Structure 1
Amino acid sequence: MPGEEGDADIVALTATHHPSPFSRCGPGFGKSIKPDLVEYGGTAVWRGISSRLSADRDSCGVLTLNPNYLQSLMVYRHGTSFAAPVAAYKAAALLEEFPKASANFVRALMALSADHPADLKERVTSDGGREHFRYAGYGVADVSLAEASEDNRVVMAIEDSLPIDRFAVYEVPIPTDFQTVKGVRHIKVSLAFDPPVRNSRKEYLGVKMGYHLVRGKSAEEVFARFRKWETEEKEENGGAAVFENGSAICKMTPLASMQEAGSLQVGTFVRKRDISHHGDSYYLVVRCEGKWAANMVEEQTFSVAVELWHEAELELYQQIAVVLSA
């Protein structure tokens, strides 16, 4: 805290990028990740002399417009209500970039661009390193990342719909450089859908969706395995088709069991070593399962986005553009 006369009793409750002391956190309904996204809303301090919490200091707040503009144009304020309008502003910025996009498309891109500040991940390390999802959802969205790809970071997205209890398969091209060049690489997936919901019964979502990123299998093998799930195994294995070689399903962070309770799902698959033995194509399988709304809707609209990122300065965008245009 800035040094001021009489401030020796002031103790900051949080560090930069840590959750505000007045934040609400998850897990949400059905142990879903809650909130989806977060934004900065200020902090609070402990005043030792008065033995009370206080946020009535400029250094605790976020600079914003003052409703009493005749007194001053700007003012510092704090509160949980800051998050929604900032997230809405970012969504509006994306909608301006993609004016014909659906709400699901915008949500998927926002979630794909989100990340947790490094300070938060270093501070919140319990529960196998996944506890930061409970405190900060999928993180803070970065509109600049959502709007466009870069040489070493490529975003692919699509809007689609699925009949109830069916699945779709999307091929994800994996360039040779992405597979072999040394360094950290990740494949990040974001799925957004808008199912019927009820707040008065145990099952909140009327339709459940989920995804699997499959590697080391041909398209024919993927279709054959999920057709078997479609006809025989919906209630087994938590709704997921399982290959005999379990390593064919990429293990995402957070796990599917954490993601699939919500209508916005984001997972990341990270590797540091050569992955060329898994082939030039992965397959993203999106499945749709009817719950209590199975007889109410014929199909479910959704949007899915995939990001390939490598820490090395590679020309991934050009390589993938060539494959997709072939």
Structure 2
Amino acid sequence: MDNRNHLPLPAYTNELPKKAESRQGGGFKPLGNRNKVLYHQENINKATQIATSFAEVKEKFRGNINPNLIYRIKVNQSVDITNFSNILNAMGGLTILSVADNRKGYWVVFADDKELNVFKEKLAQYSGVVPNGHKYDFFNAIDGIEDIPLEEKIGESILEDPLTEGQTYHLNIELWRMEDEQIHKFIRELEENYRGNQSFRINDKLIMRSFVLLRVQMNKSIFDEIISLKEIARIERPMLPLFNISDHRQIDISEVEVIAPPDNATGILVVDSGIISNHPLLEKAVGDEQNFQSGEREGQDIVGHGTAVAGMSIYNDLETSIHERKFQPTNWLFSAKVMYGETDFYGNVTPIYDETKLLENQLNEAIRVFLDNPDNNIKVVNISFGNSYEIVGSRNTRQFPLANLIDELALEYRGVVFVVSTGNQKPVNFYELEDMIEQYPKFMVENPDFKIINPATAALALTVGSIAPAVRIANYRAEEEIWNPIAREAEPSPFSRVGFGINGMIKPELVNHGGNLILRKNFNRVVENVGGKMTILSNKITESLFGFDTGTSFSAPKISNIIGQIANNFPNASANFLKNLLLQSTSVTPVPNMRYTPSKNDKAKLQMTGYGMPNLDKAMYSQDNRIVLLDEGVIGINKIKVYTVNLPNSFFVTPGSKILSVVLTFDPPVRATRGDSYLGNQMEFKLFHTVNPDEVVSQYGVINYNGDETEDSTPPLLKPYEVVLKPGVNLRNKGCHQKAWRVFTRELKVPLQTPITLVLRNLNKWIPDPDHSQSYCISLVVEHAAIIDLYSTVRTEVQERVRTRQ
């Protein structure tokens, strides 16, 4: 599809006054159509099948392995786990090994009762086969029991490429997590059963709280034999090595093409440890570099951190450039050195700051020197450092001085976007490897030591966390090692600090790739595989052009680079505009199920990954089936604006999912002394469908607001027509970078129809000036999964309305 220019979001009214209102709060379910006699017969047959297959396994391994009985129960409703677990335990000593997602579906259980006699007896009483028996209504939640199918225990790679005779394989065997004594006993018996068989050997094992993994050497015959053991949850080939360090280490500058940025490209300022300005991959892009500390006279980067961050800020994806052997920076690079390196006796370099000079002063001076020069045309300032001793919420809820300084600078330089990394925390400092894997990613949310640090709490800056790239393992010896990637691709990096921010603001707002932790134990020591690290520019260019490291320090400049490219396309845009387009382009990234309540789980996802990972093309362009409508303006204190757009009928009637998304960015005054509300004013939005915009204006037209509004603000008569967005208004309106969306996969009770009306409200917190005007940018995205032309119709309608108002 062709790229299209974004469209204006037409205002329906000018400012209005506004109003407040209130928010509503809100045994085993019987299955009315169940034939209990038939249900009894079906599950008696299933129980007999399970017992028979178990007897066959016992006979096959008789004398060497004393197998355990494991099967699964299909649960048809969300049950209380503790209560259900107690009930199952009373039914023949059933122990839960695995709970289904959302508690509905297949639960895997371990049984002491090998014949399932207790299950059969209670089932007979529930079904009425035994007169005057107990009700046992927990059976209402159980559709049935069954053996776990063998094909579900075989990994995808083995199903796609089956094992063949005559070869020996190194495979991963995952066992169901029984009690420690049962696990150790089973492994001993498995080894004993194949003692002396050269085709079988357990090379490594990892016993966790929730799973057990073995690396086993075996042939096809043994695979076919042991797959029937109930204790085996899955057998799969291990991951293949996809990454070789020498591919990067051996690149010579003569092998690659290095091109300067376009002359009219905007600038990105990296405030860090300086750069190696004559680095072959940086020198053609350096606009200026200056030293703002006195620890090192030279501007060269001794620490190496600044050079690495700078490389990410102008290239974003070094891997692609390496693969293509072509390096073309997207933006001009500016470097402010505010830290220097101190080398210890062993040659280790530690970044430090001037002891006699405030870092805030250095930062203030550095940023002003660069931004006050209009020739630099800087649109982004990247800050990839922080104070790990100043953790949000650790002592008070007020803003930190350094973060407050960044916000004040953002208010002064309204055409510049400030980007700050969340900071990093090493989980190995708190958890053993087993606990880390077991508790990921819960520990990131539940451990207060993983909260974001100063200055990541800056409200007007975009705060960036890290997600893991595709898993790859370097220097991999399958027969000897079990490496444990803590995160899967696109999941939160286990070292990335999390929100929320000051006053509950959604922080981080964005994520990008910053690496992963791929770990294993080696003689009781946890070692890390370099495959989890990001490729970065090295400051030791006589040794290598590239190095490897992890951290939000590198995910943040990737975001800075995307903003820089957007700014190249919109060189005169405000920071509100640039941030709005960036946030509107994000996609939610996956987070493992933490088994919280849905509301708490949604909040935890926002704490770790914010609104997700942005997409450059979506930020810069609309498409036929995806339209970005936006408006920049100002709004008074305690006022409302209403926007409305008519959509073609094809949007509503064409099969396929539909998305409505709203982003609001604004730059309110801030005050660090106001712990109750760091932001001087609070803005929020609501979206409606079908209802006439005149009615929306009428309902919002008479409002008395006293500054204490915390309840749902939707007028009661508009409730049936509200497009309820996620995250909810009382969560997203804590900050000044807000996004909410709705995906429609089925019809609403009140069918979705045009027009779509957007209400914007500005609520005063502590601004004393009643005439204060707040600048903002608001956008609405209308998207359909089908390839249909929405753009042309909406453009015509919007242009006519804009001309009429002019």
Give the whole-Å Cα distance in 2 for the aligned partners of 1:98 and 1:70.
39
Structure 2 residue 522 is matched with structure 1 residue 28 = no
Number of the residue aligned with 1:113: 585
Which one of the candidate residues 678, 695, 702 is aligned to 1:228? 702
Residue 280 of structure 1 is matched in structure 2 by: 754
CA drift at 1:52: 4.4
Task: Give the secondary-structure state (helix, strand or coil) at the position aligned to 1:105.
Answer: helix
Q: Aligned letter for 2:557? A: P
Deviation at 1:31, TM superposition (A): 2.2
CA distance in 1, matches of 2:768, 2:720: 32
Shift of 1:125: 6.7
In the alignment, which residue of structure 1 is the partner of 2:201?
none
Secondary structure of 2:519's counterpart equals: strand
Give the 3 Å change call, closer, same or farther, for CA 126–150 of structure 1 in structure 2: farther
Task: Tell me the alpha carbon deviations over residues 5-57 of structure 1, each in whole angstroms, 9 at most, x when there is no partner.
Answer: 486153221111111111111222222211011111111133311444454x4
Alpha-carbon shift at residue 323 of structure 1 (Å): 1.3
Task: Report the 3-state secondary structure (helix = DSSP H, G, I; strand = E; otherwise coil) of the residue aligned with 2:522.
Answer: coil
Instruction: Tell me the equivalent position of 1:73.
Output: 545
How many Å separate the matches in 2 of 1:8 and 1:273?
48
**Greater C-alpha Rg:** 2
1:56-205 to 2 correspondence within 5 Å? 57-117=529-589, 120-121=590-591, 123=593, 126-128=596-598, 130=602, 131-202=604-675, 203-205=677-679
Would you say the 8 A contact 1:25–1:35 is kept in 2? yes
Deviates more, 1:270-279 or 1:87-96: 270-279
Task: Tell me the equivalent position of 2:799.
Answer: 325
Letter in 2 for 1:173: N
Opposite residue 134 of structure 1, the aligned amino acid is Q
Q: 1:142 to 1:53 in 2, by over 3 A?
A: farther
Q: What secondary structure does 1:186 align onto? A: strand
Counterpart CA distance in 2 for 1:251 and 1:100 is 34
TM-score by length of 1: 0.91
How far 1:167 moved relative to its partner? Answer: 0.9
What letter corresponds to residue 114 of structure 1 in structure 2? T
The range that moved more, 257-266 or 127-136, is 127-136
Query: What is the root-mean-square deviation in Å for CA atoms of aligned residues?
Result: 2.3
* Alpha-carbon contact 1:46-1:52 (below 8 Å) kept: no
Secondary structure of 2:783's counterpart equals strand
Q: Contact 2:563–2:582 at 8 Å: present in 1 too?
A: yes
Unmatched tracts of structure 1, length 5 or more: none
Letter in 1 for 2:691: K
User: Which stretches in structure 2 are left out of the alignment for 5+ residues?
Assistant: 1-472, 801-806
Q: Any conservation in 1 of the 2:632–2:776 contact (CA below 8 Å)?
A: yes
Mark the CA change 1:54 to 1:170 in structure 2 (over 3 Å): closer, same or farther: farther
Counterpart of 2:760, as a letter, is V
TM-score calculated relative to the size of structure 2: 0.38
Distance in 1 (CA, whole Å) between partners of 2:797 and 2:496 is: 45
Q: CA deviation at 1:228?
A: 1.7
Moved more, 245-254 or 179-188: 245-254
- CA gap of 1:51–1:75, structure 2 versus 1, over 3 A, is same
The alignment status of 1:289 with 2:796, answered yes or no, reads: no
Contact 2:689 2:754 in 1 (8 A): no
For 2:694 and 2:710, the matched residues in 1 are separated by 22
SS in 2 for 1:253: coil
Q: Are residues 54 and 292 of structure 1, via their aligned partners in 2, closer, same or farther at CA, if it must alter by over 3 Å?
A: farther
Partners of 1:68 and 1:89 lie apart in 2 by 23
Contact kept? 2:664, 2:739, Cα under 8 Å = yes
| Counterparts of 1:53 and 1:17, CA distance in 2 | 23
**Does the 8 A contact of 2:521 with 2:527 survive in 1?**
no
Report what 1:256 is aligned to: 729
Aligned partners of 2:706 and 2:695: how far apart in 1? 16
Task: For 1:109, give the aligned amino acid.
Answer: L
Structure scoring higher RCO (CA < 8 A, sep ≥ 6) equals 1
State the AA in 1 paired with 2:778: V
- The DSSP-based 3-state class of the residue aligned with 1:64 is strand
Q: Does 1:206 align with 2:680?
A: yes
Which of 740, 745, 768 aligns to 1:267? It is 740
Identity %: 26
SS of residue matched to 2:794 = helix
Distance of aligned partners of 1:320 and 1:208 in 2 relative to their CA distance in 1, 3 Å threshold: same
Number of equivalent positions: 322
**1:164 touches 1:294 (CA, 8 Å); kept in 2?**
no
Question: Are the equivalent residues in 2 in contact too, given 1:178–1:310 (CA < 8 A)?
Answer: yes
Deviation at 1:133, TM superposition (A): 1.6
AA aligned to 1:226 is Y
Question: Matches of 1:233 and 1:214 in 2, distance apart?
Answer: 25
| Mapped contact 2:491–2:591 kept (Cα < 8 A) | no
Q: Secondary structure at the match of 1:76?
A: strand
Q: Cα deviations across residues 88-145 of structure 1 (Å, max 9, x unaligned)?
A: 111111111111211001111100101123xx14646744151322210000111111
Matching residue's letter, 2:545: L
Q: For residue 745 of structure 2, what is the amino acid of its counterpart?
A: K
